[in-house]
Structure 1
C-alpha cells in the first residue's frame, strides 16, 4: 500500500511538472543531461531519450532504464508499434520507477519509420488506441502520447481531432502536440524540426475541443516568455526541446519561479557547476568518462562573456586521460578571466 501511495504521488508530481517539460531528444537527454538539468530546475518535467520496446523486451537492455532518483520528476518515452510488446515495456518502465510512460508518435527518422512507429503511427489512430489501452492495462504508470499535427498529405484539422478522440477513448488524458506536420517523404529528421510551418492555433483549438484532456504544445518554443504565453492562452503545458539543451540556463534556471511559482534552486552558473561536482566524482568512480557528463554542460554560459572559453576548455580536454572534476574549475577560471 505504501508503494502504491508513493507511486500515485509521483504521477501527480509528473502531471503538475508538465506545465514545463524538456523534450525527449535522442543522444541528448540521457541520465547525465537530466541530472544536470535537475540542478537548474526542481520542478520541470524531464524525459528520457526514446527507448524502443524491442530493445527492452527482446534485447533485455534494461540498462537503458537506469536513472537517478534525484532526476524526478522524470518520464520514460517508448517507441514501438506492437501493443503486446509496448505493454511489456511499459511494465518494465513502471518496475524501474517511472511514473509516466510516453508513447512516441512524432519522430520522423528513417530508422523509426522502418520499424513502423514514431510519426508513422499518426496514420493509424486505431492501432495507437490499441497500444495505449494495452499499456494502461499493464500497470499503474500514467500513459501519455507525444504526436505531430499530422504527416505528409494529411489535413491536420481533420486527422488530429480523430487521433485525439481515439487515444482519449483508450484512456489517455495527457498529450503533447508538436505543432508541425512530419513529412515522412522528402525531408530529413533535421529538416522536419524546422521546415514544416508551426500551427499553434490548431493546438490551442484542440484544447478548446478536448477540454477534459491535458494538452501541451511543443515546437519552436525559444524562451520562458513564449512558454508563459501559451500557458496564459489556456494550454496545460509547454515542452521545450533544443533551446533547453543549447541554452539550459535561459530556459531552466528561472523556470521554477516563473512557471511554477517556487524558489529557483541556483542563483549563479558557478552554483550549478558546484552542484555537479559530487555527481561527477561518483559517476567517474563507476567508470563514466568526464566528457560523457560535461558534453551536456557546454551551453551553460551561452550568450554570456566567456562562453567560448568555457566550451573550449571542456571540449578540448574532458576526453583526455586523467581529466577529472577539477577541469570544470579550470573552465570557470577561463570564464572569469574574460569577464
Structure 2
C-alpha cells in the first residue's frame, strides 16, 4: 500500500505522550482539531498483538490524525521488526519502541522500562526494526530503573541504541521503580531530573532528544526548547486540559497562526461524532476525552456534568454536546432531561 508520509521530526517539537486507555483514535482526532502540527502517538500496542491480533481494531486511525506514530511494546527483535513493517504498511509515520512503561503486565512480558537494564537487547531490537521499514524508528525511555545510577546508565543506553541507528529519543526524566511503586506512583513519586536530560543533549548534540515528565504548560515547554532541547512531550496535562496545551501550540511552538477556539473545536467534532454514531459507536467513547476541554472556564462544571450524565445513555447523540456547550457559552445550569 502506498501512503503519503508526514515528517515526524519537526512535529516532535511538541508531542502528546502515548498513554494507555487514553490516547485512542478518538482522543487523537480531538487533539488534531486543536493542533495541526503536534506529533500524536497511539497507546502502546504489543508487537505480538500487531502481528497476530485484530489489526483493524488495534491500528485503525483517521487520516486527519497525521503526523502519527505507533508505539510498540516488545523485546523480540524479529517480532518487533514484523510489527514495524506492518505499521508502515498501515500508513503510520513513525514507530516508537517503549522502554519506559513500568506496569506489572509490561514487566512480565520483559519489555517497557525493564529494558533499561538491557541496552544491547534494545539495540538489537531497533536494528531489526530499522532494517524492516522505511519510516523512522524512535525510542521512549526512562533515565534508569531501580538502583541504577542514571548519570551512568542513561549515556550508555543512548550510546548503544543510537549506534544501532536510532537518532531520536523521548526521555521521561524520572527513574522507574519496578520494585515497590505502582505504575501510577511511578508517574509522580520518583524525582524529576531535567538537568540530566539537558546534559544528554549537550553530550549527544547529534541526537534529537525530547524531554518528557511533569511538564504542565506551554511556557515550560517553550523554556525547554529555548534551552536547546529538540522537543517536548506532554502527557497528562495535554489530556486533562487539552485546550491549555494544544490550542495555542501551533503559534507558540511551531510559529504558525492562531488556531481554533475551544468552542470551534467542539463544533468541528460534531461531523466526526455523527459518523461514529452512524457506524454503531456510542457517544461516550468520544466524549470521555472531551471532559477537560473547558477546564478553568466558567460553566466547565456544567459541561462535564452534562457529558458525564448524558453521553452514556442509549441513543445519546449530538444534542448532548450542544446542551453541554450551552453550559459554557451561557453559563446555564445543566439540563439532564435529554
Q: Do they superpose with TM above 0.5? A: yes
Tell whether the 8 Å contact from 1:41 to 1:264 is kept in structure 2 after alignment.
Answer: no
Partner of 2:278: 285
1:72-111 per-position Cα deviation (integer Å, ceiling 9, x unaligned): 1111000011000000001110000011000000000000
1:155 correspondence with 2:149: yes
> Which of residues 117, 135, 138 in structure 2 aligns to 1:123?
117
1:337 is matched with which residue: 322, 330, 333? Answer: 330
Q: Find the partner of 1:272 among 260, 265, 268.
A: 265
What is the deviation of 1:59?
Answer: 2.9
Asked whether 1:44 is paired with 2:38, we answer: yes
Which residue is equivalent to 2:108? 114
Asked if 1:189 is matched to 2:150, the reply is: no
How do 1:238-253 and structure 2 match up within 5 A? 238-253=232-247
Q: Quick one: distance in 2 between partners of 1:127 and 1:338?
A: 56
CA distance in 1, matches of 2:194, 2:134: 32
TM-score w.r.t. structure 2 length?
0.96
**Structure 1 length as normaliser, TM-score?**
0.96
Structure 2 distance, partners of 1:250, 1:158, is: 36
Q: Which has the higher helix share?
A: 1
RMSD, matched Cα: 1.2
Report the counterpart of residue 103 of structure 1 in structure 2. 97
- Correspondent of 2:316 among 317, 320, 323: 323
- Count of matched residue pairs: 332
Deviation at 1:336? 2.7
Give the structure 1 partner of residue 158 of structure 2.
Answer: 164
1:57 counterpart = 2:51: yes
Structure 2 equivalent of residue 33 of structure 1: 27
The answer for the alignment partner of 2:137 in structure 1 is: 143
**Structure 1 CA distance, aligned partners of 2:168 and 2:270?**
36
Match of 2:220 in 1: 226
Structure 1's unaligned 5+ residue stretches are none
> 2-side partners of 1:282 and 1:61: how far apart?
21
1:237 aligns with 2:231: yes
Q: 1:162 Cα shift? A: 0.6
Runs of 4+ displaced beyond 6 Å:
none
Residue 338 of structure 1 aligns to a residue whose secondary structure is: coil
> Shift in Å at residue 337 of structure 1?
3.3
The answer on 1:18 being equivalent to 2:15 is no
